[in-house]
């Protein structure tokens, strides 16, 4: 539903209070309301924590560096929610494209509002 007047453009979320792109060129878009609490993200990335009280995951940081990219890509690609399309999306802030999980294979942001 990207571009729908009732929903923000996913690539623009968090842009106003973000750290400099040069320092943290990637951001996490997380569809928390669709998290199923499988915990795979927390198992593969230190940036993800599973809250035992709620049973849901959450990122420690929404903006990540190049050094943190691989672990967060693993988290996004391991998420089984949304029938394997995941609810963790790693976005390249320089291009606005989805790095992971990128189920369409073209960089289109696969957030499902």
Q: Break the chain into its structural domains and give their ranges.
A: 20-100
Higher per-residue confidence, 45 vs 111: 45
- Residue 46: predicted pLDDT: 96
Report residue 21 CA to chain centroid gap.
16
Higher per-residue confidence, 104 vs 112: 104
- What's the pLDDT tens digit per position in 14-43? 667 889 999 999 999 999 999 999 999 999
pLDDT band, very low/low/confident/very high, at 55 (cuts 50, 70, 90): confident
Higher per-residue confidence, 3 vs 52: 52
Higher per-residue confidence, 45 vs 14: 45
CB within 8 Å of 58: residues ≥ 6 apart: 30, 32, 48, 49, 51
Q: Which of 101, 73, 107 is nearest to 87 (CA)?
A: 101
DSSP state string for 34-98: G-----HHHHH-TTEEEETTTTEEEES-SEE-HHHHHHHHHHHHH--TTTTT-SEEEEETTTTEE
Report the CATH architecture of 20-100. 2-Layer Sandwich (3.30)
DSSP assignment, residue 101?
Answer: S
């Amino acid at each position: 539903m990207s571009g729908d007047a009732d929903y923000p453009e996913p690539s623009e979320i968090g842009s106003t209070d973000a750290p400099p792109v040069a320092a943290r060129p990637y951001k996490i878009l997380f569809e928390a309301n669709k998290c199923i609490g499988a915990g795979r993200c927390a198992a593969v990335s230190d940036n993800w924590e599973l809250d035992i009280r709620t049973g849901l995951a959450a990122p420690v940081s929404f903006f990540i560096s190049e050094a943190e990219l691989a672990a967060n890509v693993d988290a996004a690609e391991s998420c089984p929610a949304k029938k394997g399309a995941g609810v963790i999306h790693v976005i390249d802030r320089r291009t606005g494209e989805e790095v992971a999980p990128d189920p369409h294979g073209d960089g289109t942001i696969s957030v499902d509002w």
